[in-house]
Structure 1
Amino acid sequence: MKEVGKRLKALRESIGISQVKMAETIGSTQSSVNRYENGQSTPPVELFRRYADYFDVSLDYIFARTDKPQGVTYEFKPKAAPEREEMRRFIEMCFDPQSPMNEKLKETLLRMMEGEA
């Protein structure tokens, strides 16, 4: 938890607020924030969420799984299941082939269904 504490401290210091102000912001105490930052204590999950929301960073960043504040250490790409192929055929049938937006709408819907959008 030392690395997590370093991230929490660096985030707080990056905007120049005190531990007291940070504690008020996330609904904790100054002594707790100090223990979190020094790796002596682990915040509850809800406080991690509050840190992430307040600083607009991902939990992956806070947990030092990535150095990119926006996070995402992997891309979720589900495998095509048989029911997905059935859904793909259904989508094909739903669009008017004469519509100029037919292909774009269909592709967008298929990407959304596959988790790519």
Structure 2
Amino acid sequence: MKELGERLRGLRESVKLSQVKMAELLGVKQSSINRYEQGLSAPSLETLVKYAEYFDVSMDYIFARTDKPQGKLYEYHPKIAAGSEEMKQFIEMCFDPQSPMSEKLKQTLLQMMEVDK
């Protein structure tokens, strides 16, 4: 909770807000802001969301999981076995057989699956 408190204090001080003004903006008591910043108590999820919205930062940033205000950007790359029959069937179902581009798009997607492996 120490890192959380430091991050919340840093955000507040970065825009030169007093604890009293921050409390007004978040709809909590000034004493609560002080306890959050001292690491003596944790804000509710609702209050954390208000911090994130007010300062336009991610929850990852507030929780000190990253130093980037926009947060961590995760890229999900599913593992698909080359030649997976289930995936081929799924791709087959996704395309409209009446569309003139359907077959070309489908073949391109299937080729991409094979190249990635």
Return the offset for 1:89.
1.7
Identity fraction in percent: 52
| Aligned counterpart, 2:65 | 65
**1:72 positional shift:** 1.9
**Does residue 59 of structure 2 align to residue 55 of structure 1?**
no
- Checking the alignment, whether the CA contact within 8 Å between 1:26 and 1:50 is kept in structure 2 is yes
4+ aligned runs moved over 6 Å, structure 1: none
Is the alpha carbon distance of 1:62 and 1:96 closer, same or farther for their aligned partners in structure 2, counting shifts above 3 Å? same
CA distance in 2, matches of 1:89, 1:16: 57
**2:76 maps to what in 1?**
76
Q: Give me the TM-score of the superposition, normalised by structure 1.
A: 0.72
Aligned to 2:2: 2
Structure 2 segments unaligned to the other structure (5+ residues)? 110-117
Partner of 1:114: none
Larger gyration radius, structure 1 or structure 2: 2
Deviations 1:65-98 (A, max 9, x none): 1111000253233445976544422333354329
Deviates more, 1:29-38 or 1:77-86: 77-86
CA deviations over 1:5-53 (Å, ceiling 9, x no partner) = 1110111111111111111111111000011011111111111111111
> Secondary structure of the equivalent of 1:77?
coil
Distance 1:27 1:84, change over 3 A: farther
2:114 matched residue in structure 1 = none
Q: Which amino acid aligns with 1:26?
A: L
Residue 93 of structure 1 aligns to a residue in which SS?
coil
**Matched residue of 2:21: which SS?**
helix
Of residues 86, 89, 92, the one that matches 1:89 is 92
Q: Which residue of structure 2 aligns with residue 16 of structure 1?
A: 16
Matching residue's letter, 1:93: D
The question of whether the paired residues in 2 share the 8 Å contact of 1:60 and 1:73 is answered with no
